[in-house]
Chains A and B, each alone.
Chain A
Amino acid sequence: MKIIGLILMSFLLVFVAGCSDNQPKSETIQSEEHNEAEEHTEGIKLSDEVLQEFGIEVKEAGPGVIKNHIDLTGEIKAEPSKISHIVPRFAGIVQHVNKTVGERVSKGEVLAVIESNESLTTYEVTSLIDGTIIEMHMTQGELIGTEAHAFTIADLDKVWAILSVYQKDINKIKVGQNAKVSIGSIDNDEIGKISYLSPIVDEKTRTASARVILNNRSGKWRPGMFITAKAYVSESKAQVVIEKTALQSIDDGPVVFVKDGEGFVPKSVKVGKENDDNVEILTGLKPGQQYVAKGAFTLKAEVLKESFGGGHGH
């Protein structure tokens, strides 16, 4: 009867062994790479060919300037002190009109002749300033009253760019800052200084206006034009400035990969001022240190490799 027992035992043995000792199908290559990833805590070593293949660029950290700007929109207005409204002194019939819209006139130049209703004599309407007629409401033979502006003359040699500043930006804008004003998408811009920032905010638009005075001899800034502007709000010198693409975040904190001997290691940094392209490093990096400016993501991925090996994403 022992034989039966033996048979049973061996039968079961084969089955249990055959079915239960299943090794997990962990691919060998994966585990190999795990080990390598662990070694990398010492520093990621990459050959020059690999650096080139992956487009990883190393640069030197150094002092620099960080400029910041604010994007604003606005419109061109004529300077109020350079506008004159001409109103007929007496109501009467317009005898003839000498000038028309768009013509340049000089101070004292006769614009029109009106026959007064009261005196039935004619008198001349003259310009008060040198400028361009931008509006005219007068035709020959018209009976004209004394209420309406007959002519609006503006001196457009200088115009104002009135920029709307949203609440959030008001504190950054200061009188004297440079602003680059441009007309829409056309590459046609001019730099002026902010000469005024209104002390109040418009109740309706909730914006404050800032003013930039622009030269307009060429006449390209036409009042009413919609413009955009970049106001350069700050410009600061910094000891260590690096390219913004070098910043990576690991464990919710910013790091920069620096060259340490043969390999690259992630260095935690504290970030100061920044703009679209550059960033100031307050702590963690010294001037003259070699850092990875481009392709740092590959290095970050290499550091995190261990963690994303297991859970293939689904």
Chain B
Amino acid sequence: MKNIIDFALKNRLLIIVLGLIIMVAGYLSYKNLPVDAFPDVSPSLVQVFTTTEGLAPEEVEKYVTYPVEVTMNGLPNLKTIRSVSNFGLSVVNIYFQDGTDIYFARQLVNERLTEAREQIPEGFGDPQMGPISTGMGLILFYYLDDTTGKYTLEELRSIQDWLIKFQLQTVSGVTEVLGIGGYEKQFQVVVDPNTLLRYDVTINDLVEKIKANNLNVGAQFIEKDAEEFVVRSVGLTQTIEDLNNIIIKSEYGTPIYLAQLADVKIGGAVRRGVQTQGGIGEVVSGMVVKLYGANSSTVIGRVEQKLKEINKMLPEGVKIVPYYEQKSLVQSAVTTVTDALWQGIILVIIILVLFMGSLRPSVVVALSIPFSILFAFIGMSYFDISINLMSFGGLAIAIGMMVDASIVLVENVDRIKRETTTEESFIHIVSRAGKEVVQPITFAIAIIIVVFIPLFTLQGVEGKTFGPLAYTITFAMLGSLIFAVLLAPVLSSFLMKGKKKGSESNQEKKEIWIVRKLQKGYEPIVKFFINQRIAAVILAAIILIFGGIVFPKLGSEFTPTLQEGTLVLRMSMAPSISLTESTRLTLIAERRLMKIREVANVVTRIGRGEVGAHTDPINSAEMYIILKPKDEWRRDMTQTELEEIIRAEFGEMPGALTNFTQPIQMTVDELLEGVRAELAIKLFGDDLDKLKSKAEEIASVIRKVKGAEDIQVDQVSGTPQLRIVVNRHDIARYGVNVEDVQQVIRTAVGGESAGQIFEGVKRFDILVRFEPEFRTTPEAIGQILIQAPDGTNIPLSQLASIEEVVGPRQITRENNQRFITIQANVSGRDIGSFVEEGQKVIDENIKLPPGYLVTWGGQFKLQQEANARFAVVIPITLLLIFLLLFFNFGSVKNSLLILLNIPLALVGGVVGLWLTGQNLSVPSSVGFIALFGIALENGMILVTYFNQLLREGESLDEASIKGAMLRVRPVLMTALTTALGLIPLLFAAGTGSEVQRPLATVVIGGLFTSTILTLLVLPALYKWFSVKIAASEM
């Protein structure tokens, strides 16, 4: 290992060139790295959407969801299949193992989809895969602002669907543009049933006739003279006039036109979503979906550019107003960490200059930062890690650590250079100094990397969130090691050489004033502790006990929520609500929000628009709150404070639940299909009613188990249905088929498409349907006439029973079976025993029919898995650390002494959290991990030197004092650079800072106590842990 230093010093030019190549490569990688706001925590998932107009959940499940699910079984890498059958929409989520290539997964799904399509009956919809995107893919939302007020909602929607959408889809990196709001334009043939009766036509005749009169055909070509003429017959219907003139039937030569039977007009299609704005009314809006893996910031840039172009093309008075952009989020997240990064670098350099006393060594050390960062970029691009809050955050955390190795080396060079009086060549000095420390720094950094191993084993959301951080820190540390071992000696040999000659004459052996001051103050203390070893033990014990007292006082939480900077107020209304009513309520809520001083505008999406991104039912409204610039606020506030104010002023909304959420969080939660409760008891079975009643029974017995809280059964029913059951005896009497009846119901009540009308490339459906007054009440539906084969007309109510019932709101399935979830939280006892008891009471008290099954899952399962993993990984990690220490020192005692750092560092971290009022959480755990590595590093520097002094023949006490005195500079420097490098993260208030803060707090707090230990307790305890070989070597 020591040869590396010599090798580097012999091939200085080669090393410099190599360093430059790495830096250039790093820069190029950086240029090509995608920039996102957060790491994408979306699962590997392919969604299959099928819209089936007008079908109830039961039918959707039977005819669409089931065939799709069944064909997907047995795909390679398949994790699980979940589906939701809603009114008119089937969503099948096919989850693959993490890390499965999304294009591979889509290809597999697509192959099976062709099979599924064959099994879905004609006219029940065509399953389509969702956009090639993830939960982070919704990058920009906009609405159309019509200042003139003269465009109808159909016209605006046509502008959105046929102009803006097409233009935006051409932007590279945009995979889908989804429209919502307004009405899709439709040619409606509104039929009065009495007129049908008068002319003796059925509604299905109308559909057939319209279809038969709307066609263009080609008939090859004719040769005329020497030319070919293509023959085509043009008969497409183009206008309302054309439709009106379609002849439905002819009596004694008198034609009966469609116009006589129906009112043909332009209207809006049936919709399941509405977009409103400002409490004023409806608007038309669109969502831009980013392609999977595309660079968010560049795609957003291109979209914005395109929007400018499109704005010029739009009719006078209409313009596109973006109301949500991920750009601001990406920018502020990246700004938060980049700011912290720069501030950290500056603070680190200040420390360097202060302690080294001159610029040149500081430059050598400081150069380690860009080198390590650029090196990390190469690693990031190799492992496909995007630039985001967490990966950049990792770099910000590591700034102080990146310089550690170089500090130790350069400091040693500097010290030896000062001590050397002989005319030793400078290269030789560097080589000697390097060889002294190369081994401990290599091991120290190896240990830092090793302590991050547990982080790599994190799974799911946490794994995806903190993985990038662990990776970048590891890469940066590796980079810093390469720098310290290869480049630092070479650079110091160039840069520090001249200084020596100048300073030698007058300032020989003299330390920098600040270090002198430090040593002066430090000397008596360290001597005291070395002489009074018990005092050192007591000090350590006091610190530990204090930590032990504080520790239980800490609260705990999961990962703190990332603040996205965009407020979304979600309102859930009654499941049976109509779209008209939910729109009305939403507008009321919007008007309330608009009264709040900080709110500039509110744009709300109710339900869903074009499928692909959202599958919300119409009782859910998501209100995007657009804030005024900060200087118009009543005072400066954080997002949480603002939420409080809005909540208070918004007040209670009768008949609706409101809660704050955030756009990305919302989408990702939806994809994760998150049961956010600790426990999710799933009951699988076939019969919906039985599932519901059994689930309620289970809930009632679980409620009695000690520690049970917030027990809730999923609301699966609650949608009123008008159920029309055809009576087979009655239809037999008239010779009517069930289908004849159903066909009429479908057309008359729901409407039947009778082809399309083309306007250029735009195409609009022709919909045949009864006049509203003849289909909007159960009585009216009962009056619908069914024509028997012999021409008799029979009212529907004579053939079928019409009843109002409450039907399922949605049917959820997992792995091909229906299920219902019972959610629960547990307080005041251990979840494991709760589950055991719960299982027992269910077995004893509830008799499940055959084919019914209860499973236990939820967050607790993930935690159990994580804990089980950690139970293996952490001891292994500790063992590895111990082995590394042992290899370095060749002594168990020394290694144990170093490990003593860990509990003391822990105390500092715990106290740090306690003082700042923060909780134990995943990020703070990450902080502890980083802390161990750093704490061990300091101990190693010191103990290595003690050993060296012992070997040189010093007595134990002398070695301890001298070692401590000499090493106070590097120990303090590494600790201070690391701590100060983190200070900006501690005080950052920008986006994402809430995740970085606990981490920084832990490291800074821990460094404080562990440095005390390293400097005061370690020298004192060294005697008891010293190696005996020191004496024998003499």
User: Which A residues have a C-beta under 8 Å from some C-beta of B?
Assistant: 3-4, 6-8, 10-27, 29-30, 33, 36, 44, 46, 50, 53-55, 71, 73, 166-168, 184-185, 204-206, 226, 228, 249, 252, 276, 297-302, 304-305, 307-314
Contacts and interface: CB of A to CB of B under 8 A. Distances in A.
The 10 closest A-B pairs by CB, nearest first: A301-B655, A18-B925, A22-B558, A21-B556, A301-B574, A226-B198, A310-B712, A298-B655, A313-B617, A27-B659
Nearest to B821: A311
Interface in B690-737: 710, 712, 714-716, 718, 720, 734
Given A19-B867, A27-B660, A308-B657, A73 B194 contact: yes
Interface string B562-583: 0000000000111101000100
B810 A297 contact: no
B874 A308 contact: no
A18 B921 contact: yes
A309 B657 contact: yes
Contact of B792 (A11, A53, A204, A304): A204
**Main secondary structure on chain B at its contact with chain A?**
mixed
B859 A24 contact: yes
A44 B896 CA distance: 68
B192 A313 contact: no
Contacts of A300: 574, 655
Contact of B710 (A4, A19, A24, A185): A24
Interface string B851-869: 0000000010001001100
B465 interface: no
Contacts of A184: 194-195, 198
A23 B195 CA distance: 65
Contacts of B756: none
Contacts of B575: 308, 313
A18 B577 contact: no
B573 A228 contact: no
B806 interface: yes
Interface stretch (B65-73, B419-427, B627-635, B900-908): B900-908
Given A24-B825, A301-B577, A168 B795 contact: yes
Given A25-B561, A226-B197, A297-B577, 15 more contacts: A3-B899, A10-B903, A11-B902, A20-B867, A23-B557, A24-B859, A29-B658, A53-B588, A184-B195, A297-B574, A297-B655, A301-B654, A302-B654, A308-B718, A309-B657
Interface in B785-807: 790, 792-795, 797-798, 806
Contacts of A10: 902-903, 906
A297 B556 CA distance: 41
B133 to A, nearest CB: 18
Contacts of A18: 556, 920-922, 924-925, 928
A21 B555 CA distance: 9
Interface string B916-936: 000011101100100010000
Interface in B762-786: 777, 779, 783
Given A24-B678, A300-B655, A17 B712 contact: no
A98 to B, nearest CB: 29
Contacts of A206: 734, 792, 794
Interface string B192-221: 101101100000000000000000000000
A288 B168 CA distance: 62
B699 to A, nearest CB: 11
Contacts of B198: 184, 226
A22 B557 contact: yes
B366 interface: no
A103 B779 CA distance: 45
Nearest to A13: B551
A275 B660 CA distance: 44
Nearest to A203: B792
Contacts of A205: 792-793
B654 A3 contact: no
Interface residues on B, range: 35 or more
A192 B116 CA distance: 61
A15 B454 contact: yes
A205 B200 CA distance: 13
A184 B197 CA distance: 11
Given A36-B652, A313-B617, A314-B670, A3 B900 contact: yes
Given A19-B863, A19-B867, A226-B194, A299 B655 contact: yes
A30 B657 CA distance: 7
A17 B806 CA distance: 46
Nearest to A23: B557
Contacts of A249: 720
Contacts of A166: 794-795, 798
Nearest to B882: A4
A16 B868 CA distance: 10
B795 A22 contact: no
Given A14-B920, A252-B806, A54 B903 contact: no
Given A36-B652, A297-B577, A301-B574, A22 B658 contact: no
Given A18-B922, A310-B712, A312-B572, A23 B655 contact: no
A54 B589 CA distance: 10
5 contacts: A15-B867, A25-B561, A26-B676, A299-B654, A314-B84
Nearest to A50: B654
A73 B558 CA distance: 69
Contact of A21 (B561, B652, B777, B920): B920
B192 A185 contact: yes
Contacts of B616: 313-314
Contacts of A19: 462, 863, 866-867, 870, 922, 925
Nearest to B548: A10
B712 A308 contact: no
Given A11-B874, A17-B556, A276-B777, A314 B91 contact: yes
A308 B197 contact: no
Contacts of B84: 314
B106 interface: no
B160 interface: no
A301 B899 contact: no
Interface in B640-688: 647, 652, 654-660, 670, 676-678
Contact of B656 (A20, A50, A252, A301): A301
A16 B863 CA distance: 9
Contacts of A226: 194, 197-198
B162 to A, nearest CB: 29
Contacts of B779: 276
Contacts of B863: 19-20, 22
Nearest to B544: A6
Contacts of B313: none
Contacts of B793: 205
B617 A29 contact: no
Contacts of A204: 790, 792
Contacts of B867: 15-16, 19-20
Contacts of A30: 657, 659
B925 A15 contact: yes
Nearest to A205: B792
A70 to B, nearest CB: 9
B719 to A, nearest CB: 10
Contacts of B794: 166, 206
A300 B710 CA distance: 23
A298 B585 contact: yes
A223 B572 CA distance: 58
Contacts of A302: 654-655
B857 to A, nearest CB: 14
B620 interface: yes
B977 interface: no
B556 A24 contact: no
A22 B557 CA distance: 5
Contacts of A7: 878, 899-900, 902-903
Given A24-B859, A184-B198, A314-B86, A4 B899 contact: yes
Contacts of A228: 194
B297 interface: no
